[in-house]
Every structure is written in structure tokens, then in C-alpha cells.
């Protein structure tokens, strides 16, 4: 072979390599480009056309400033300068591209160093990591929520060891303020006149005046705000200068003197009056999140328990059991959700990055939505309707006739809500990818009802029915989603039957436990006042026997029942007293504490059953060991208690 032939072969090889490199660059989804010393694009791959929605011939030859826009260029200018100076570097952050919108990217810069050491330009590889960052943010939010639950656990342990009520209140205020990054936190007890309040707990950032030991007029900080607290409603003020409850000049001045511009306040109602309140404040305007608001309410309950326990030996004995249950539940839930998130991350199959991020993000999102509903209801349970609407909202639930929901009010208990939420999420995801919700021709109907079981119990039966004008083919193999539905169903103690028909999937889910009927909206979706209003007629003039040996709890039950229009019989604090009332007095329904002075309430339950009088157990035990009646666990919300009584179980 001649020298000319060798030279021609070298040229062909070089051209082939260049063509191969260009084809490879066009094949990958990331942005690949070459920029010269004048900051002009000399080469961009096909991905640039998809990002900027223009032919790359309109990009090559133009400057970075012209293509990216002034905002994006200013964000990247320092890295461009360093790359042209010969430095290899990586940039990560959000970039506001002129025609591609806001993107979270990772950009790798590699200088083009000539043989003589000069820098001819640089290569840059840009990857859109927005989806990954979104998943990371969701995981971080969920973990942050659980850290606050762990903080409640630590606070409970700390307060248990504190004998001085003022010291207990101060330590709780400091933990709450530091946990949520606030400038001030305080705890005050309302005097018998209902107007003045004595601050026995206080924590403030440096430079702000302390209120510890101060006796203040609550109305001076907004009469309307104070009225809401006295009515038992939590008050959230993002900006005292803008909120109509606090925007009076005199009131604003009172807040300014304390370096307060926004706050959250949770009242504590005892014996039908506001006995105390806790608040968390900021010296600037602040949008408080639902988790922060719920956290303040939880801390308020813990402080009240600690202060009362420190003042009374008898209160100490009662509070220790409640606190032990709270600590165990918080610890269990914190560990459980972290384990579930870890398991989802490890078990979700990885086919490619996009599929993995979408699948994992969806499942974590479902878990987070269930947690949000449970957090709002203080872990008493969630409404089935609310759970379905949250999972089906992306597909038109509530606004689109294609998605139809119908059934009686049902409360899904806390221990079942997460598993049921995951099942519904997987069904919805499958419907949107392969089933009736793929296009506008399909429809989904979700209905539920109560059905009598073989042993006489009531089972919740949910029917998921998809219909489509297309022929729906069942999946050729069982994927991870199907396995997750099966395993979550087992955890629920539910029977799940899936029937793939040409018009779409029909799934029947039967729950033998974890669900309760209720006559009002669940705490997760309704305001407390509306729940009482709906139950007024159901319980009006009903004679309800209250069997409870804790005096304060008995008084609170009597108050709730009286407000609902019922006639309270008792309260009875012993088995003998309760049996005497059952024998002598007409009774329509009953509320029974399971343990009375160390004795089971079984004799009273038997006497009520013999007279066909429906009753509800109310207990602090996690595993009460009874099966002859519905069980509500303390602390149960008024709506949940009244709903169970009104249902006539």
C-alpha cells in the first residue's frame, strides 16, 4: 500500500470516528456542547433542540448570553470564566433558562487544552436533575416530619423527669422554638376571670423581652383572636399587620413591643373553659405549615400533662400511663415510616432512571399524603372519601365526571390508612398507565358499602371498576406494583380480588378490620364545629350512660355528650355503680372505660348486651383484649366518639 493510500485511510478513519462521536452525542439525553474562547457555541448535540425548541443551527455560532438569556448567563458566568482559564469544575443548581424555563441541572466543564498549553475553549455536559431533586425534597420533608415526632418523644422523656412545673414549661418552650426555628415560645395559664393570663413558661431569642411571670390581658392582643381561643380554636396569624383579627394599630403596637409579627397559638380547654394556651412566635411574617401547627398543639398537650403531674401526685400517676402510650406510639410510627421509605427505595425495580424516580416518587408521595391526613386528625384516622380523593385528584376526582366516588362515611383507622393508601395509589397508577384512565374514553367508579360477614361482623367492601371503549389487556407478568398491592392487602387483613375484563379491571377489596362507620366528616377533612352540628339530631335526647373512673375524663365526656344534645346518665366510676344504673335507669347507649380501678368492665358490657343496648369502649390500651364491641382509643376526638355512638352499633 502506498503512502497516499495510508494517508487516505487515516482520513477515512478520522472522519468515521468524528461521525461516530457525533452520533453518540445525539443519542444521549444530556446536553453536550463545545464553547470557544469567545463564548460561542461551536457544537451542540440533538438534546439542545428539545430543550430550547429550536434547530441547533440557530444555536451554533451564537453566544452563551444570546442562547441562555441574561439571568441564566449571570448565574453561570463565574464557572464559564474559570473553565476558559483551564479549570475543570462542576456546577449544580437551578438555572432560569430563557426559553427552557427553570431547570435544576448538574453541569460538568472540561477545558480544551491545546498542545501548547493554551485554552481553545471548553466542553460542557449538562444533566437535568429536577426530578431527582424533587424526590429528595419529598423524602427530606417526610423525614423532617418524623424528626419532629422523635422530638415529641424526647420532650416526653425530658418532662417526665422534671418535678418543677415552671422548669418543665420553660424547657418545653425552648425545645419547640428551637425545633421549628422560631424567635419566641411561651406557655400561659388563664386565670378564673377568663381575661388575664399568667406566663409560667417562656423562651425568647437574644434581644427580645421575656414574659416569664407576667400577667397580661389577652384581649389587648386582639379581641377577636382571644374569642377564638376561648372557643377552643387554634389561631394561626401569618402577619399581625395584615390579619383582620390583629391589624388594629393599638394591637399591632402591643405585638411590636414583644418583637412578634406572626404566631401560632393552641388553647387548652378544660371544664368548658380555656385553662391555658401555648404559642410559637416569629419576629417576621411567616407562613406556618400544617405540620408546624399540629406540632404546637401536640406540645401544648405534653406541657399540660407535665405541669399537672408536677403539681399533683395523683395527676402524675394518670399522666405516666398516657405518656407511656404516646411515647410508644410516636417511637413506633417514627421507626415504621423510616423503614417503609427505606424498603420502597430498595424494592422498587430499577429499569432506568426516569422510571425509578417516577415510581419511587409516586409511592413516597402516597405515603406522605396518608401521613398528612393522619397528622391533621392527630392520628385518630382518616376518612375513606378523603383518602380516595387525594390519590385520585391527579385524574380528576372531584372535578371530572370520569371519576365517580360513592359510599357512606367511613373512618379508616390510623394503623390501616398507610397500607390502604398504597393499595389505592398502585391501582390508580396502573389505571393511568394501562387501564381506563389512559385517555378520555375511560372512566373509573369507586363505590363502597358495609356487608355482613360470615361471623355476623360488618365488613367494608370497596369495588374499583374501570370501563373503557378500548380493549384492556391484563399485564403479561406480575410486577412490583401487583406484589405491593398483595402484600399491603395482607397487612390490612383484607381480601383483594382482581378481575381483568375486556372493558377494564374490576377489583373487589374486603376489609374485616381497620374501618369504622361514622355519621360525620372525619377530623382529617372537616372542622370540629361542623361534626357536632351533624350529630346533634342523631343523639338529641338520647340517654347515654358514661362509665369512667377518671374524674376529669368523665367530666369531659359529659360535656361533649351534653353539647350534642344527649342526656348523660352517671357518670359511674365503679362496676357496682354502673350495674345499679343499668338496672334502675332507662338507657339508650353507653360509653365504657375498659379498666375501672384495676377491674375489667365486662360485667357491665354483659348487662348492656342482655338488654340490647349498644355501647362503645373507650380505652388507653393499645391491645384492650375485647371483641364484643367497637373500641375507640384515648384520646378520641369528639367527632369520632359521637359518630360511633350515633351509628347505633
Residue ranges and CATH numbers for the domains of the chain are: 25-128 (3.30.450.20), 135-326 (3.30.450.40), 353-517 (3.30.565.10), 528-646 (3.40.50.2300)
How crowded is the C-beta side of 549, counted as CA atoms within 13 Å? Answer: 17
The confidence score (pLDDT) of residue 454 equals: 46
Cβ–Cβ under 8 Å, residues 590 and 616:
yes
Segment 170-173 long-range contacts (CB within 8 Å, at least 24 positions apart) = 170/201, 170/202, 170/203, 170/212, 172/201, 172/299, 172/302, 172/303, 172/306, 173/201, 173/202, 173/203, 173/278, 173/303
The confidence score (pLDDT) of residue 486 equals: 78
Cβ–Cβ under 8 Å, residues 76 and 107:
yes
Q: Which of 619, 556, 564 is nearest to 589 (CA)?
A: 564
The confidence score (pLDDT) of residue 342 equals: 64
Give the pLDDT confidence of 364-397 residue by residue, as tens digits: 666 666 666 666 656 667 888 888 888 887 776 5
Which residue numbers in the chain have pLDDT < 70? Answer: 1-22, 140, 312-350, 355, 357, 359-380, 396-400, 452-457, 477-479, 519-537, 552, 620-624, 634-637, 648-649
Give the chain's mean pLDDT.
80
Q: What pTM, to 2 d.p., does this model score?
A: 0.35
First to last CA, the chain: 99
Cβ–Cβ under 8 Å, residues 641 and 560:
yes
Distance from CA of residue 99 to its chain's centroid?
Answer: 35
Cβ contacts of 469 within 8 Å, gap of 6 or more: 441, 442
Q: Which of 45, 48, 88 is nearest to 68 (CA)?
A: 48
Amino acid at each position: 500500500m502506498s503512502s497516499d493510500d495510508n494517508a487516505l485511510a487515516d482520513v477515512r478513519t478520522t472522519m468515521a470516528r468524528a461521525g461516530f462521536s457525533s452520533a453518540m452525542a445525539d443519542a444521549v439525553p444530556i446536553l453536550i456542547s463545545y464553547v470557544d474562547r469567545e463564548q460561542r457555541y461551536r457544537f451542540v448535540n440533538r438534546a439542545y433542540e428539545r430543550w430550547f425548541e429550536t434547530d441547533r443551527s440557530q444555536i451554533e455560532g451564537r453566544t452563551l448570553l444570546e442562547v441562555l438569556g441574561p439571568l441564566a448567563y449571570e448565574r453561570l458566568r463565574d464557572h464559564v470564566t474559570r473553565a476558559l482559564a483551564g479549570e475543570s469544575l462542576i456546577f449544580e443548581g437551578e438555572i432560569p433558562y430563557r426559553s427552557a424555563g427553570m431547570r435544576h441541572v448538574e453541569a460538568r466543564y472540561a477545558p480544551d487544552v491545546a498542545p501548547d498549553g493554551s485554552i481553545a475553549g471548553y466542553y460542557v455536559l449538562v444533566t437535568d436533575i429536577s426530578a431527582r431533586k424533587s424526590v429528595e425534597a419529598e423524602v427530606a420533608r417526610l423525614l423532617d416530619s418524623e424528626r419532629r415526632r422523635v422530638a415529641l418523644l424526647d420532650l416526653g422523656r425530658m418532662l417526665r423527669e422534671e418535678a418543677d412545673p415552671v422548669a418543665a414549661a420553660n424547657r418545653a418552650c425552648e425545645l419547640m422554638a428551637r425545633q421549628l426555628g422560631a424567635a419566641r415560645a411561651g406557655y400561659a395559664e388563664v386565670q378564673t376571670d377568663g381575661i388575664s393570663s399568667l406566663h409560667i413558661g417562656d423562651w425568647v431569642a437574644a434581644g427580645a423581652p421575656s414574659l416569664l411571670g407576667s400577667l397580661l390581658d389577652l384581649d389587648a392582643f386582639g379581641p377577636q383572636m382571644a374569642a377564638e381561643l376561648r372557643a377552643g380554636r387554634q389561631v394561626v396569624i401569618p402577619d399581625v399587620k395584615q390579619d383582620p383579627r390583629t391589624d388594629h394599630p393599638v394591637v399591632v403596637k402591643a405585638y411590636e413591643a414583644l418583637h412578634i409579627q406572626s404566631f401560632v397559638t393552641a388553647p387548652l380547654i378544660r371544664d368548658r373553659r380555656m385553662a391555658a394556651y401555648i404559642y410559637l412566635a416569629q419576629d417576621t411574617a411567616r407562613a406556618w405549615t400544617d405540620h408546624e401547627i399540629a406540632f404546637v398543639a401536640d406540645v401544648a398537650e405534653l406541657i399540660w400533662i407535665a405541669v399537672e403531674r408536677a403539681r399533683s401526685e395523683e395527676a402524675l400517676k394518670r399522666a405516666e400511663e398516657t405518656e407511656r402510650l404516646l411515647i410508644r406510639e410516636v417511637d413506633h410510627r417514627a421507626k415504621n415510616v423510616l423503614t417503609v421509605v427505606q424498603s420502597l427505595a430498595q424494592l422498587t425495580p430499577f429499569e432506568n432512571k426516569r422510571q425509578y424516580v417516577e415510581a419511587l416518587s409516586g409511592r413516597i408521595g402516597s405515603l406522605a399524603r396518608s401521613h398528612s391526613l393522619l397528622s391533621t386528625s392527630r392520628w385518630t384516622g382518616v376518612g375513606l372519601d378523603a383518602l380516595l380523593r387525594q390519590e385520585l385528584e391527579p385524574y380528576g376526582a372531584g372535578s371530572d365526571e370520569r371519576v365517580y366516588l360513592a359510599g357512606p362515611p367511613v373512618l379508616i383507622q390510623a394503623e390501616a390508612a398507610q397500607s390502604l393508601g398504597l393499595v389505592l395509589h398502585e391501582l390508580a397508577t396502573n389505571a393511568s398507565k394501562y387501564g381506563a384512565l389512559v385517555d378520555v374514553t375511560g372512566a373509573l367508579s369507586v363505590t363502597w358499602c358495609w356487608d355482613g360477614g360470615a361471623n355476623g361482623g360488618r365488613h367494608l367492601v370497596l369495588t374499583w371498576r374501570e370501563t373503557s371503549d378500548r380493549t384492556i389487556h391484563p399485564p403479561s407478568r406480575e410486577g412490583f406494583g401487583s406484589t405491593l398491592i398483595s402484600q399491603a392487602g395482607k397487612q390490612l387483613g383484607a381480601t383483594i380480588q382482581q378481575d381483568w375484563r375486556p372493558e377494564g379491571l374490576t377489583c373487589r377489596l374486603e376489609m374485616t378490620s381497620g374501618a369504622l362507620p361514622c355519621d360525620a366528616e372525619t377530623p382529617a377533612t372537616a372542622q370540629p364545629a361542623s361534626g357536632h352540628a351533624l350529630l346533634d339530631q342523631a343523639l338529641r335526647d338520647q340517654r347515654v350512660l358514661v362509665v369512667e373512673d377518671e374524674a376529669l375524663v368523665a367530666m369531659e365526656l359529659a360535656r361533649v355528650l351534653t353539647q350534642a344534645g344527649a342526656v348523660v346518665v352517671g357518670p359511674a366510676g365503679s362496676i357496682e355503680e354502673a350495674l345499679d344504673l343499668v338496672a334502675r335507669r332507662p338507657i339508650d347507649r353507653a360509653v365504657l372505660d375498659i379498666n375501672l380501678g384495676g377491674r375489667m368492665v365486662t360485667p357491665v358490657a354483659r348487662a348492656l348486651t342482655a338488654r340490647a343496648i349498644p355501647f362503645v369502649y373507650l380505652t388507653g390500651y393499645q391491645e384492650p383484649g375485647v371483641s364484643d364491641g367497637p373500641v375507640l382509643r384515648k384520646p378520641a376526638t369528639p367527632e369520632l366518639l359521637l359518630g360511633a355512638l350515633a351509628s347505633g352499633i
